[in-house]
């Protein structure tokens, strides 16, 4: 009993939460929806009365005017109902869109405010985030949080409508009215319980995303080359069919099972309908009711019984509510930790730096921002969330102000991970990272990041103008001279001259009049972006594989053109092309998650370790090619 009461109170508060969501749509649309629903709720009872009145005036031989008036009332009510339905559909769509928009905007802000990346690693955040934006599998309508709120309002007024009909029927027979209402509510509860299990089955569909991928991969430009050249179209179609069958088969099985269990709810419905007809008919036969009243009360009984059916709104509520709950859970879990920590609360607590409190409060950087800082990794151990093997395992290294440090090592050794930790995107499991002696965990992260200019290996190709692509890190400094200068140093001057609209050329190839660039051209733009950021105050410049897409000449000129012209900045250069890193002040070779070799090119060549071996292999390959 207690469990039932708890469950009932949980359902009630969830339903109230849905109704409160309506305020997100704005007072005018939400208020209008309430008024329209109220009008529609009054229609069945008004129709019962008006049709009864029409029969009464017709049978009693009233004047033509009176009959026409009564018929006009009946017809008018039908018209009003239809017109209200049309307007209501439009207002409902607006309300749904606004509520969903607010919820999605909240999710975007929450995700963007989280300074770390670890929430994006596990399924927990992703699953709940996609539940918030999920429109569900609805027959012609969205099954979102907004539709759940609108559906809840619809249900409230369906109830109001049934109660109004009950009150009208009770003027004839309170017993019949109450009995019909209770049986109808019971049938509804049973039907709802049976059909809503389908929502559980749909919710358990974890293959949905893959299904989407198999469909979209064939239609988007990214995979189109592979699909054609490898002849993968049939493979994609086959995978889609397999996943779709796996998704929908349990849904159809559940539907069949529910249909097989319908016989006794059908029996109850037939019994209710028989009582609704027989009791007023018996009263007519005994002379206590006239035919006009018979019509009114039979229609009223129909109005009461209408609550027994499970309408689309029930699915909307059930499905959309899970999106609302997911949004609430995300807000509770990540809403506040995101502002101050590096990532999720759990990760922040479990990996707090040695000797510091679990959730250090951020403080402004005490270091000067005009000079490059001394950055130290002290015995840093780091394991990606959801994995067990540490990528960095006791990494100790110092980046001294103004020096150029190259980081090299085999694929997967942790070079990019080192950069991610430097940017505060993850926190070490143990050990610490200091900036001028201050633990990075206690620094104001946004302020620290303004001192970094990072070119990632998988840099982003923003669908925006060339100018925006260069100035994103410091839009307030977007003077043409600075942009051209950054492009020039990145080797992008010729590219700029070739583009029809110069700096204003749209690099959004999918947009109207947009242009796309080659891989190497994009790399120059991305390089210009970080050089621009460095000129705007970035004191630590990180270049992860900056020459991977560049042609031979650009690669050969890279050090001269880019690295040697950087002033008042520490440069971290990651590259597999050892000729690119050769001029660096220091070269660090990572192995087993820590520094294995550290020194200038000459020193490491003299050491005769891995660096010397790799360099010799590359040099020999070039010499052989040259012959
Ligand atoms: N988000 C992640 N989640 C789990 N493991 C990851 C993640 N990112 C990287 N790894 C793993 O961490 C290891 C180090 O990756 P990282 O990208 O730092 O290597 P890298 O030295 O930059 O490699 P490369 O030279 O190929 O660019 C790899 O084994 C990789 O599989």
Ligand 1 midpoint to CA 329 (Å): 30
Nearest atom within ligand 1 for CA of residue 576 = 25
Give CA–CA dist 456/422, Å, rounded.
12
Backbone angles phi, psi at 431, to 5 degrees: 80, -175
Query: Which residues have any ligand 1 atom within 6 Å of their CB?
Result: 121, 384, 387, 391, 409, 411-417, 457
Ligand 1 midpoint to CA 424 (Å): 16
Nearest atom within ligand 1 for CA of residue 419 = 18
Q: Three-state SS string across 156-198, please?
A: HHHHHHHHHHHHHHHCCCHHHHHHHHHHHHHHHHHHHHHHHHH
Which residue is closest in CA terms to ligand 1's atom 20?
Answer: 412
Ligand 1 midpoint to CA 384 (Å): 9
Q: Are 516 and 453 in contact (CB under 8 A)?
A: no
Which residue is closest in CA terms to ligand 1's atom 26?
Answer: 411
Ligand 1 midpoint to CA 126 (Å): 20
Q: What SS3 class is residue 336?
A: coil
Which residue is closest in CA terms to ligand 1's atom 23?
Answer: 412
Ligand 1 midpoint to CA 412 (Å): 5
Give the neighbor-by-neighbor strand order of the sheet with 430-435: 392-399, 375-382, 430-435, 438-439
Nearest atom within ligand 1 for CA of residue 117 = 1
Which residue is closest in CA terms to ligand 1's atom 19?
Answer: 412
Q: Are 590 and 596 in contact (CB under 8 A)?
A: yes
Residue appearing with tokens 């990075």: 440
Per the structure block, which two tokens stand in for 538? 């970035």
Q: What contacts 76, CB < 8 A, 6 or more positions away?
A: none
Ranges in the chain, pLDDT < 70: 60, 122, 135-142, 203-222, 336-369, 475-478, 509-513, 622-627
Q: Three-state SS string across 507-568, please?
A: CCCCCCCCCCCCHHHHHHHHHHHHHHHHHCCCCEEEEECCCCCCCHHHHHHHHHHCHHHCCC
Domain made up of 372-451+543-627: CATH architecture: 3-Layer(aba) Sandwich (3.40)
Q: Are 380 and 432 in contact (CB under 8 A)?
A: yes
Nearest atom within ligand 1 for CA of residue 386 = 4
Ligand 1 midpoint to CA 340 (Å): 26
Domain made up of 11-338: CATH architecture: Up-down Bundle (1.20)
Ligand 1 midpoint to CA 391 (Å): 8
pLDDT tens, residue by residue, 362-409: 444 445 567 899 999 999 999 998 889 999 999 999 999 999 999 999
Which residue is closest in CA terms to ligand 1's atom 30?
Answer: 412
Which residue is closest in CA terms to ligand 1's atom 24?
Answer: 411
Residue appearing with tokens 């002696």: 437
Which residue is closest in CA terms to ligand 1's atom 18?
Answer: 414
Question: Which of 529, 596, 491, 598 is closest to 584 using CA atoms?
Answer: 598
Residue appearing with tokens 């909240």: 106
Q: Are 597 and 588 in contact (CB under 8 A)?
A: yes
Question: Which of 356, 434, 371, 439 is closest to 398 using CA atoms?
Answer: 434
Give CA–CA dist 520/531, Å, rounded.
16
Residue appearing with tokens 């969330």: 385
Q: Are 239 and 233 in contact (CB under 8 A)?
A: no
Nearest atom within ligand 1 for CA of residue 414 = 18
Q: What SS3 class is residue 205?
A: coil
461-538: CATH, from 3.40.50.300, 3.90.1170.50, 2.40.240.10, 3.30.565.10: 3.40.50.300
Nearest atom within ligand 1 for CA of residue 410 = 25
Best residue among 393, 409, 411, 417 to mutate for probing ligand 1, ranked by most atoms within 8 Å of CB:
417
Question: Which of 571, 575, 589, 523 is closest to 544 using CA atoms?
Answer: 575
Nearest atom within ligand 1 for CA of residue 545 = 27
Ligand 1 midpoint to CA 455 (Å): 16
Which residue is closest in CA terms to ligand 1's atom 25?
Answer: 411
Q: Are 190 and 265 in contact (CB under 8 A)?
A: yes
pLDDT of the residue at 562: 81
Ligand 1 midpoint to CA 411 (Å): 8
Which residue is closest in CA terms to ligand 1's atom 6?
Answer: 384
Ligand 1 midpoint to CA 386 (Å): 13
Give CA–CA dist 555/534, Å, rounded.
20
pLDDT of the residue at 439: 95
Ligand 1 midpoint to CA 415 (Å): 8
Which residue is closest in CA terms to ligand 1's atom 5?
Answer: 384
Ligand 1 midpoint to CA 589 (Å): 16
Which residue is closest in CA terms to ligand 1's atom 4?
Answer: 384
Q: Is 389 exposed, middle or buried (0-12, 13-18, 19+ CB in 10 A)?
A: exposed
Question: Which of 276, 303, 218, 257 is closest to 46 using CA atoms?
Answer: 303
Which residue is closest in CA terms to ligand 1's atom 16?
Answer: 414
Ligand 1 midpoint to CA 418 (Å): 10
pLDDT tens, residue by residue, 196-244: 777 777 766 655 555 666 666 666 666 777 777 888 888 888 888 888 7
What does the DSSP 8-state code read for residue 504?
A: G
Residue appearing with tokens 């596990």: 122
Boundaries of every domain in the chain: 11-338, 372-451+543-627, 461-538
pLDDT of the residue at 208: 57
pLDDT of the residue at 346: 39
Per the structure block, which two tokens stand in for 381? 């151990």
Kind plus residue range of the DSSP H or E element containing 615: helix 610-626
Nearest atom within ligand 1 for CA of residue 417 = 18
Best residue among 121, 384, 593 to mutate for probing ligand 1, ranked by most atoms within 8 Å of CB:
384
pLDDT of the residue at 386: 83
Q: What SS3 class is residue 590?
A: strand
Which residue is closest in CA terms to ligand 1's atom 9?
Answer: 417
Ligand 1 midpoint to CA 582 (Å): 24
Which residue is closest in CA terms to ligand 1's atom 29?
Answer: 412
Positive/negative CA dihedral, 462, 463, 468, 472: negative
Which residue is closest in CA terms to ligand 1's atom 31?
Answer: 412
Ligand 1 midpoint to CA 392 (Å): 10
Ligand 1 midpoint to CA 214 (Å): 26
Ligand 1 midpoint to CA 596 (Å): 18
372-451+543-627 and 461-538 in the same fold: yes
């Amino acid at each position: 009993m207690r469990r039932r009461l708890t469950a009932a109170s949980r359902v009630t508060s969830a339903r109230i939460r849905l109704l409160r969501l309506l305020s997100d749509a704005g007072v005018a649309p939400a208020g209008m929806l309430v008024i329209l629903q109220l009008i529609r709720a009054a229609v069945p009872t008004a129709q019962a009365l008006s049709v009864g009145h029409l029969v009464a005036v017709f049978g009693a031989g009233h004047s033509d005017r009176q009959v026409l008036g009564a018929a006009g009332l009946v017809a008018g009510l039908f018209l009003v109902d239809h017109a209200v339905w049309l307007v209501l559909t439009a207002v409902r769509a607006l309300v749904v869109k606004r509520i969903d928009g607010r919820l999605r905007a909240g999710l975007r802000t929450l995700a963007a405010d989280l300074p770390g990346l670890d929430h994006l690693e596990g399924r927990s955040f992703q699953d709940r985030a996609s539940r918030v934006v999920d429109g569900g599998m609805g027959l012609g309508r969205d099954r979102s949080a907004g539709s759940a709120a609108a559906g809840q309002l619809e249900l409230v007024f369906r109830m109001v409508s049934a109660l109004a009909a009950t009150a009208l029927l009770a003027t004839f027979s309170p017993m019949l009215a109450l009995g019909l209402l209770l049986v109808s509510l019971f049938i509804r509860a049973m039907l709802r319980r049976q059909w809503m299990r389908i929502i559980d089955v749909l919710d358990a569909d974890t293959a949905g995303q893959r299904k989407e991928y198999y469909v979209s991969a064939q239609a988007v430009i990214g995979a189109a080359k592979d699909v054609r050249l490898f002849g993968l179209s049939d493979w994609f179609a086959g995978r889609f069919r397999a996943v779709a069958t796996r998704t929908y088969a349990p849904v159809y099985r559940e539907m069949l099972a529910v249909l097989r269990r319908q016989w006794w709810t059908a029996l109850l419905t037939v019994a209710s309908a028989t009582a609704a007809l027989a009791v007023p008919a018996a009263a007519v036969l005994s002379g206590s009711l006239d035919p006009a009243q018979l019509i009114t009360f039979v229609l009223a009984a129909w109005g009461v019984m209408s609550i027994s059916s499970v309408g689309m709104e029930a699915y909307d509520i059930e499905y959309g509510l899970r999106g609302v709950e997911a949004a609430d859970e995300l807000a509770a879990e990540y809403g506040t930790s995101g502002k101050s920590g590096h990532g999720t609360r759990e990760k922040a607590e479990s990996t707090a730096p040695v000797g510091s409190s679990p959730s250090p409060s951020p403080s402004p950087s005490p270091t000067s921002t005009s000079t490059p800082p001394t950055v130290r990794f002290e015995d840093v151990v780091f394991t990606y969330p959801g994995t067990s093997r540490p990528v960095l395992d006791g990494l100790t290294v110092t980046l001294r102000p103004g020096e150029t440090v190259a980081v090299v090592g085999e694929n997967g050794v942790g070079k990019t991970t080192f950069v991610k930790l430097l940017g505060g995107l993850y926190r070490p499991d143990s050990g610490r990272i200091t900036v001028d002696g201050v633990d990075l965990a206690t620094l104001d992260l946004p302020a620290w990041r303004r001192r970094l200019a990072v070119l990632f290996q998988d840099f982003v190709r923003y669908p925006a103008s060339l100018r925006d692509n260069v100035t994103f890190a410091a839009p307030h400094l977007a003077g043409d001279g600075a942009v051209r200068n950054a492009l020039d140093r990145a080797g992008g001057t010729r590219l700029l001259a070739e583009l029809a609209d110069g700096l204003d050329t749209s690099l959004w190839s999918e947009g109207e009049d947009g242009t796309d660039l080659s891989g190497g051209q994009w790399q120059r733009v991305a390089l210009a972006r970080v050089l621009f950021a460095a000129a705007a105050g970035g004191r630590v410049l990180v270049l992860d594989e900056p020459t991977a897409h560049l042609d031979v000449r650009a690669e050969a000129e890279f050090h001269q053109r880019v690295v040697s012209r950087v002033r008042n900045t520490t440069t971290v250069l990651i590259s597999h092309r050892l000729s690119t890193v050769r001029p660096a002040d220091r070269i660090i070779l990572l192995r087993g998650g820590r520094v294995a070799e550290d020194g200038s090119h000459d020193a490491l060549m003299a050491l005769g370790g891995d660096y010397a071996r790799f360099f010799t292999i590359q040099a020999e390959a070039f010499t052989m090619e040259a012959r």
